[in-house]
């Protein structure tokens, strides 16, 4: 790869994008899918976990801030391990589904809202160039699909965070209309 591309990749790997990928959201949903015996949720999120891992490895290999990435990876691994340990400590399946579903919802919402961390800068500069347009656009599409799927299987832990994610991503896309990139 060219040095110029490496520099662009290192800069593009902002804190919010790394946190989204390191949050373990797909790993948690994989486990949730297995708990409720919903194969579509499980398989899609296994693939998502693998893709996220590949992205993190790529970013790590090009970033100049390797210590920051390692700390974030350690935090993510500890968080996921804690969630799994918690899962093993609960015997009542309905309580486990409720609590683990809430954990998945909270992590998912932080994933969807992460680009809003740049909101102040977008308003101040009147430019949306700091927002990751492809990530936000795909978030809108994916949340629409997951909201529909959650509705079909009658699972509020899938419907509610994805419906909110859909609204957040639409709001973020609207920022591109109000404050176009320069």
Question: Closest by alpha carbon to 132, among 115, 154, 149?
Answer: 115
Q: Place 181 in a pLDDT band, splitting at 50, 70 and 90.
A: confident
Question: Closest by alpha carbon to 136, among 113, 157, 155?
Answer: 113
pLDDT digits (tens, 9 = 90+) for 127-159: 988 888 888 899 899 999 999 999 999 999 999
pLDDT score recorded for residue 58: 82
Average pLDDT over residues 18-40: 81
């Amino acid at each position: 790869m060219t040095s110029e591309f490496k520099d662009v990749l290192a800069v593009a790997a902002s804190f919010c994008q790394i946190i989204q990928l390191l949050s373990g959201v797909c790993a948690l949903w994989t486990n949730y899918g297995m708990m409720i015996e919903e194969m579509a949720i499980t398989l899609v999120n296994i693939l998502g976990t693998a893709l996220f891992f590949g992205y993190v490895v790529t970013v790590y290999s090009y970033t100049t801030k390797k210590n920051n990435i390692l700390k974030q990876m350690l935090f993510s691994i500890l968080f996921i391990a804690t969630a799994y340990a918690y899962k093993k400590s609960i015997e009542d399946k309905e309580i486990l589904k409720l609590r683990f579903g809430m954990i998945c919802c909270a992590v998912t919402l932080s994933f969807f809202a992460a680009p809003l961390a740049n909101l102040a800068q977008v308003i101040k500069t009147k430019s949306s160039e700091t927002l990751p347009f492809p990530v936000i656009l795909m978030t809108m599409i994916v949340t629409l699909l997951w909201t529909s799927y959650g509705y079909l299987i009658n699972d509020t832990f899938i419907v509610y965070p994805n419906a909110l994610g859909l609204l957040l991503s639409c709001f973020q896309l609207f920022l591109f209309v109000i404050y176009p990139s320069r």
